[in-house]
Amino acid sequence: MIGMMTVDTLTLQVMNTEFYLAIAKSNKTNWKEKAEKWLRYVAQEWSRFGTNNELWQLNNLEIGQTLQLSDDLYDCLVQANDYYLRTNGLFSPYLKLQLEQHGYNQSFPFTSIEKEAMYNQSIIAGNPFRFLSNQQVMKIAQQEIDLGGFAKGYAIEKLAQWLEAEIAPEYGLIDGGGDMKMWSSGEKIWTIGVADPYDVDKEISSIKMASGAIATSNRIYRSWTQGENRKHHLLNGQTGNVAITDVIQATVVTSSLCDAEVGAKLCFLVDETKQQQWLEAICDRSARFIVKENQAGYWAMTGEKVC
């Protein structure tokens, strides 16, 4: 991918994901330590599976209580809440309880849950947290936060901004399990493959770009059986129910990884016309590669008519 250019790389396993970082060679040698420290901090403090971490403290507030968060977690939550509002709740960071009720109460990999949980749809409540000044957050409804892939996208994007500004302005790439952010001053053009949803070692398409972001979601990798029902991790934020769709995998390409993360999830929740409208509203340019059941994958761009 990088050819004969001088490059420095880092590979690590964190957030249940293999991360690969590649940047132009720099005389600043401590970037790897700082990058790893940041990613491991996010994995430890923002995971819903942790106990006594920062997110756990927020989720365990009583209604009416407040907590002062770190600057980064507060900023991540404010951004996630903004997407929640802009999508009318279809994308939601407030689905921890619903995911657990569907059986997603442990870190992957797992394949089955014995018992179907009782599901109380009434726990879906609008705007369950209020964001106050000075990084204070108040809990106002009995719901809990799961940042999931959005936290990973935020972490990658923030790390990429630092690397580009301070370490390697020439070019760089961060790949966190298929969610990517890349930049280039113009000399480097990246060729990014789109993996087959059934075989991650096989590519079914590719795209060339100098700078931008790519996020991919699919409903096969994080799926399981609960009782006799097949479940996956992509829920409708308005209902708390598993998304019912013929979309197997969605890859969204934009300038912002957070935009791409949310856009990829919406591909499972709304029809193609609404996908187009949403992406055109937030992005100057974007593209998406959709794979549906029993169909070849196809590209769609913003500005195109979707039939």
Q: What is the pLDDT of residues 70-114, one digit of tens each?
A: 999 999 999 999 999 999 999 999 999 998 888 776 665 556 566
pLDDT tens digit sequence for 195-205: 999 998 999 99
Is the pTM above the cut of 0.75? yes
Question: What top-level class would CATH report for the domain 7-301?
Answer: alpha beta
Is-contact 158 73, C-beta < 8 A? no
Residue with tokens 């959709």: 290
112 close to 255: Cβ distance less than 8 angstroms: no
Round to whole Å and give the CA distance between 32 and 34. 5
In angstroms, the first-to-last Cα distance of the chain is 35
Where in the chain are the domains?
7-301
| Residue 221, pLDDT above cutoff 90 | no
259 beta partners:
none
What is the pLDDT at residue 204? 96
- Read off the pLDDT of residues 14-23 as tens digits, 9 standing for 90 and up: 999 999 999 9
At 86, list the tokens: 């802009």
